[in-house]
Amino acid sequence: MRKLFAIAILICLTGSLAAQDLNARVQVLSPKIQTTNKRIFQTLENAMKDFLNGRKWSADQIGPAEKIDCNFLLNITSWDGSSAFSGELQVQSSRPVFNSSYTTTLFSINDKDIDFTYTEGQTIDFNAQNFQSNLSSIMAYYAYIILGFDYDSFSRYGGTPYFANAQNVVINAQTTSYSGWKAFDSNNFNRYWLSENLVNKTYIPLRSFYYDYHRKGLDLMVDNAEMARRNIDGILPILTQLDRQRLGATLPTLFFTAKEDEFVGVYSGAPPAEKLAAYNILIQADPSNGPKYQALQKN
């Protein structure tokens, strides 16, 4: 009996240690493709889901409840009827806020440089040491980016090793003809520049803000909203110091894309003076979203 019990414990521990990192929801759409047999797209969707959820992307033990929620929405815009695909990929990740049912968006992007080959029934392989396929490289790249943002939100610069892994994927893809991996692809807003920004010391203050905003701000909001906002008040001026004009300034743009609406929500219950102070900072740091921040001018 003891032996059986020990074996059961070992099996449970082994399963726990092997737990994967992502809870990825994958959807492949093809509204522009004129074909009556769309089985290939369902097969592709399943293969992508298995690839993302079936691999161990981090070195840490991740419990089932700790898996990172993320969405991959692939919109196929071109297919040659065989194995060549083109389209756009929307990737979004989030994490829960402590003691609440609210989930905060950590990362959101629409990647328009998606070209790859895939044959029905094909196993999608990935090797961190070399480029094997554009599809696997794109998914691995975003898996590492998602992990990096998640870790950065829980510990200061905790995502560094995962951002380094993403940069390694970029380096391995440099010699290919696929778009999105090089500095001057797609008007300088691409995978190359996101990876570059995330390991560039120029944007260390934004990554530090990311940690303080989530751990010392949002995660305290339910228990003490006044203290949480006060903590965010203290770091908000950092956002005005970001260089939005720098070549390839992708990270600040994506940051505000993920947080613009949330900032308004955070300060919606603040006193008028605090709202106005936040508005003045946000309108300076992120003028393109000025109309949204105008809600903070109202009492």
- What does the angle CA 44 – CA 178 – CA 152 come to, to the nearest 5 degrees? 75
How high is the mean pLDDT of the chain?
92
Reported as a single tens digit per residue, the pLDDT across 235-271 is 999 999 998 888 889 999 999 999 999 999 999 999 9
Q: Where are the alpha helices (DSSP H) in 102-177?
A: 134-154, 160-173
**Strand, coil or helix: what is 190?**
coil
Reported as a single tens digit per residue, the pLDDT across 77-131 is 999 999 999 999 999 999 999 999 999 999 999 999 999 999 998 889 999 999 9
Q: Where are the alpha helices (DSSP H) in 18-159?
A: 39-54, 134-154
As a whole number of angstroms, the distance between CA 147 and CA 94 comes to: 11
| pLDDT above 70 coverage of the chain, percent | 93
| Region of 248 on the Ramachandran plot (φ > 0 left; ψ -120 to 50 alpha; else beta) | left
Contact by Cβ (8 Å): 252, 206: yes
Segment 158-184 mean pLDDT: 97
As a whole number of angstroms, the distance between CA 141 and CA 89 comes to: 13
pLDDT of 7 strictly over 50: no
**What is the predicted pLDDT for the residue at 6?**
37
* Residue of 230, 237, 296, 228 lying closest to 261 (CA atoms): 296
**Strand, coil or helix: what is 139?**
helix
**What is the predicted pLDDT for the residue at 276?**
96
Strand partners, 86: 78, 115
**What is the predicted pLDDT for the residue at 5?**
36
Contact by Cβ (8 Å): 154, 129: no
Segment 136-149 mean pLDDT: 98
| Cα Rg of the chain (Å, integer) | 21
As a whole number of angstroms, the distance between CA 196 and CA 202 comes to: 10
Contact by Cβ (8 Å): 86, 78: yes
pTM for the full predicted model: 0.92
pLDDT of 10 strictly over 70: no
